[in-house]
Amino acid sequence: MFIHGTSGRYDLAADAATKVADHARAAGDQRLVGLGAMGYAATALHGPTPVTDAIRRCEELSEEVRGDRKAEAVILGVLAVCRAMEGEFEAARDLYRRARAMLAELGPSVTANATSTESSRVEMLAGDVAAAERELRTDYDALDALGERYFRSTVAALLGSVLLELDDADQAGRFATLAEDLADVDDAYSQAAWRLARAKLLARAGDSAAAAALARDAVTIAGGTLDIEQHADALVDLAVILRAGGDEGSSGPPLREALELYERKGDRVSAGKVRILLEAIPTA
């Protein structure tokens, strides 16, 4: 489950997570039932499962693991992002705050300090970039103090992109470099994420060709997984970089592909943003 999830093979990860839970039920091991449920929820969020189906399944899993606060919290975090994709931002914020509070009650842990991968996504979907930065910064500092590397690489990459949105290029560059240094070779998500952060920095510096090349690398990495959302995000970033470099005509295909992916996932908010970008492309 973990190996397939790290590599972005979410179909195989989902099968493995289901087997974990099935065997755990047969053995009467409720802790492992919770582990399988957490793994399945993660695959529902990152994989091709449509949002409406992911919400339904996660709500079922939440009931099944009730009493296992760690599993409940992780599933609530997934539900938060799914609700945000449907535009239900206040409900999404309530869910991720409840998840964070539940984990905090269990004491310091890596899981408790990695909730920003979901909460920052909620805030970015809601358009509150400053809130996303606060979420990521808090987790990064806590993970750094623990000496943790796996989640920190992802948080650092996301923080790099968010800081660039806030026009802090120096700090964005710092976190993009940290993410590159920390990311495991087989961690597809982090490998794509730090490349996107670095590509946007290169575009901001005026190196359009290098920026586009690195963004294409990120698209290839994300496209080699079943992570529909990251693949679509990478395509949007590539389109924006191409447009910023003066190649506006080439921005249409990646935007249209991103729109198809967002619609397939059921991410209404991101799909709406892409439609606005497509409308801005001049017709011949």
User: CATH number of the domain that 279 lies in?
Assistant: 1.25.40.10
In a domain? residue 239: yes
pLDDT at 24: 84
The pLDDT assigned to 12 comes to 85
Q: Identify whether residues 279 and 190 lie together within a single domain.
A: yes
- The answer to whether residue 136 sits within a structural domain is no
Residue 54 belongs to domain with CATH number: 1.25.40
Last residue of a domain, one of 118, 139, 165: 118
pLDDT at position 283 is 67
In a domain, 258, yes or no: yes
Residue 71, domain member (yes or no):
yes
Domain boundaries, position 29: 1-118
Asked if the structure places residue 37 within a domain, the reply is yes
Do 101 and 202 have their domain in common? no
SS (H, E, C) the chain: CHHHHHCCCHHHHHHHHHHHHHHHHHHCCHHHHHHHHHHHHHHHHHCCCCHHHHHHHHHHHHHHCCCCHHHHHHHHHHHHHHHHHCCCHHHHHHHHHHHHHHHHHCCCCCHHHCCHHHHHHHHHHHCCHHHHHHHHHHHHHHHHHHCCCHHHHHHHHHHHHHHHHCCCHHHHHHHHHHHHHHCCCCCHHHHHHHHHHHHHHHHHCCCHHHHHHHHHHHHHHHHCCCCHHHHHHHHHHHHHHHHHCCCHHHHHHHHHHHHHHHHHHCCHHHHHHHHHHHHCCCCC
pLDDT score recorded for residue 7: 72
Residues 210 and 109 in one domain: no
Residue 176 inside a domain? The answer is no
pLDDT, one tens digit per residue, over 30-75 is 888 888 888 888 888 888 889 999 999 889 888 888 889 999 999 9
224 within a domain of the structure (yes/no): yes
Count of structural domains within the chain: 2
Give me the residues of the chain with pLDDT under 50, please: none
Q: Given 67, 96, 118, which residue is the final one in a domain?
A: 118
Is residue 151 included in any domain, yes or no?
Answer: no
Of 102, 118, 134, which residue constitutes the final position of a domain? 118
pLDDT for the residue numbered 247: 84
Whether 23 and 97 share a structural domain: yes
Q: For position 22, what pLDDT does the model report?
A: 86
Tell me the pTM.
0.91
Q: What is the pLDDT of residue 223?
A: 95
> In terms of domains, do 28 and 104 share one?
yes
